[in-house]
Amino acid sequence: MRRLLMTSLCAVALLAACGPAADLTSVPAAVFDAATTGQLQTNPLLAKWTGPNGGVPAFDKMDLLQLKPAIEAGIAAHLAEIDAIASNPAKASFANTIEAMERAGEPLDNAMTYYSIWGSNLSTPEFRPLQKELSPVLAEYQSKITQNGRLFARIKALHEDQANLKLTPHQARLLKLVYDRFQLNGAELTGEKRDRYAAINKQLAELQTKFSNNLLADEEGWVTYLTPKQIGGLPTSYVASAKAAADELGKPGMYAVTNTRSSMDPFLTYSTERKLREQVWRNYYSRGDNGDAHDNNTVITQILKLRNERVHLLGYDTYADWQLQDNMAPSPAEATKLMEAVWRPAVARAKEEVADMQALANSEKANLTIEPWDYRFYAEKVRKAKYDLDGEQVKPYLQLDKLREAMFFVAGDLFGFNFTAVPAGTISVFHPDVGVWEVTDKVSGKHVGYWYLDPYARQGKRSGAWASGYRSHATFDGPVTALVSNNSNFVKPAPGEPLLISFDDATTFFHEFGHALHGLSSSVEYPGLNGGVRDYTEFHSQLLEHWLLTDKVVDQYFRHYKTGEPMPKALIEKIKKAATFNQGFETVEFLGSAIMDMRYHTVDPTNLDPRVFEKEELAKLGMPKEIPMRHRSTQFGHIFSNEGYAAGYYGYLWADVLTSDAAEAFAEAPGGYYDKELAAKMVANLFTVRNAVDPGEAYRAFRGRDATMDALLRDRGFPIPVKDAQ
């Protein structure tokens, strides 16, 4: 997961947001029509944020009727600011061009924060038509900025003269990022090519929104209801939450398995009802692929054709070649080489896992051949048999509230942050389930930012877990502090019951908090430096996962929800010994999606049928029949509902390479994971600099060398290939 703001050209990475706007009185009033002026003065979605510490979003003022006029007026205002910058008769300077761009667009930025909340957390039947209508408008608006010839001429002049500009390192990095972003988005196109490029952007925005809403419709529309006789094997906590979900959906006396991963995964792991496991599995993995009004196959083909046409206008052979220009893996070939190196040992391990499951099923005289809907169920049985580890033994010690405290402890020890709950009603939220914490520096007491948490699944909330940024840190116009959020889809427990989660979910909880810490720790001067390249931004969050099983966290926060007793040492050791268990499944599941992503974006999409292409390409890969892609094509929102991870889903694997390598540095340090010197080096070189430093340089400054893949293979229990003799 991950939020991409579409305003002020800051749509570069997770948690990227724009900064404070210039005073709109600096723009000639004549450029605004009466409607725009009126909206800027009265629309609450455009209003400057008020409240403590530089202001916070007015979520209590969210009114869907105000959204369209807010977006339209915000676009008009920002384009007027951009035109004023481009038309400035003074010679281009960093201050009157790049810094002016950084200041521009606050009203629209504010409106886009609310738009994003409606799109991700509160989507409703009333919002979706508006989203469909506004997405091409926003795409057209962005094209008007990147294709503003006078503006790009100023940026290009600065880029070519930067040797004489005496820029600071942050300024030089920002200028490079802005120039590259414009160039990669068609700034130098003219005439028919320029017009076609803009038209394609509009069409893609419509199609990507359609893909997303089709997927959400299938998640909301397919529910499996169980009777009391069909809950065999399911944990008590799951049964209680499934009952609460059915009650909420108007099915009292039944139990609801919703069509989301958080509901599907535990059902497939524990249910003894094999036919129902198959039904739930098919519901989940057929999302967007049912040949009905919400089918995404044609949408995918249309998206791929348009992306391919657009990059051809820029002179690139494939979409992947264009997309990877700024990544740490600079070409599709390099990214593919990495994936293939891990694919072979992962498939071999997965085949061993299937053989273990089949042997266990045979020993139980189950009279079956392992199918995809059996994988989780028998994997859990094998885990118990091999490691004497039962996931249900672990969950009583993993309370969500305690894990949240554990994250705060880690953030305090490594980053020097203190988290204090903000009393309800003090800061507005968009749903009663959302909590807010003020983040301060432990030593100075200085305000750092606010952290929002939206933990529970609900109708209209997209599935999965992600981090969002409502405002990014910056200092160039005075300090602006960060506003970040974490969003999960835990099934809400029955009233009065604690929320107990699996170890995998606890890992994800820490992962997403890593994204939040990346935003909160920023020390960059300009808001536009708060982004990052796709195959680097996941590194920081994946690294934080390694603190979950440290002794300090386990001893203090892994407490039984009834007795308060710490998790037994023997159980902890079982978890650690089982760390490489099922890595074949998890790696193959992920890589199947990542490799398909790269293949979709390196082939000619003419006449491509996604259903056929997926089947044929996975067969060529040798994808085990028992394992589906983590995200089948028609539900692959990472790459088809927007372009954030398109031709870049492999980035999670590259981030894993960095993560495993960095984690070994902590494992070898005198103070282990809490080594003060190494932690300070990590925060200074990997977190606070955000995108103000080239990622490769940043990592070398931390580690003293480039990362190698050996640590990743060790982490997953895969063999390390013998190096060729030099």
Q: Which residues are catalytic?
A: 512
Q: Contact, 497 vs 562, CB < 8 A?
A: no
Q: Contact, 78 vs 105, CB < 8 A?
A: yes
In whole angstroms, what is the distance from residue 157 CA to residue 93 CA?
9
Secondary structure, 3-state, 590-641: HHHHHHHHHHHCCCCCCCCCHHHHHHHHHHHHCCCCCCCCCCCHHHCHHHHC
In whole angstroms, what is the distance from residue 370 CA to residue 382 CA?
13
Instruction: Give CA separation, 520 vs 16, 448, 456, 487, 515, in Å.
Output: 12, 7, 23, 16, 9
| C-alpha dihedral, 310 to 302 to 651 to 218, nearest 10° | 150
In whole angstroms, what is the distance from residue 264 CA to residue 247 CA?
18
Of 659, 665, 667, 672, nearest to 716 by C-alpha is 659
In whole angstroms, what is the distance from residue 17 CA to residue 530 CA?
7
The DSSP code sequence of 162-231 is: GGGT---HHHHHHHHHHHHHHHHTTTT--HHHHHHHHHHHHHHHHHHHHHHHHHHHHHHH--EEE-GGG-
Angle between helices 610-621 and 297-313 (to 10 degrees): 80
Indicate the residue type of 611: R
Q: Contact, 45 vs 7, CB < 8 A?
A: no
In whole angstroms, what is the distance from residue 190 CA to residue 497 CA?
62
619 is written with which tokens? 């067969």
Q: Contact, 695 vs 532, CB < 8 A?
A: yes
Phi and psi at residue 262, to the nearest 5°? -65, -25
In whole angstroms, what is the distance from residue 343 CA to residue 355 CA?
18
End-to-end CA distance of the chain: 41
Q: Which residue has the tokens 């023997």?
A: 570
| C-alpha dihedral, 653 to 657 to 662 to 666, nearest 10° | 90
In whole angstroms, what is the distance from residue 222 CA to residue 287 CA?
9
Name the β-bridge partners of 276: none
In whole angstroms, what is the distance from residue 402 CA to residue 495 CA?
18
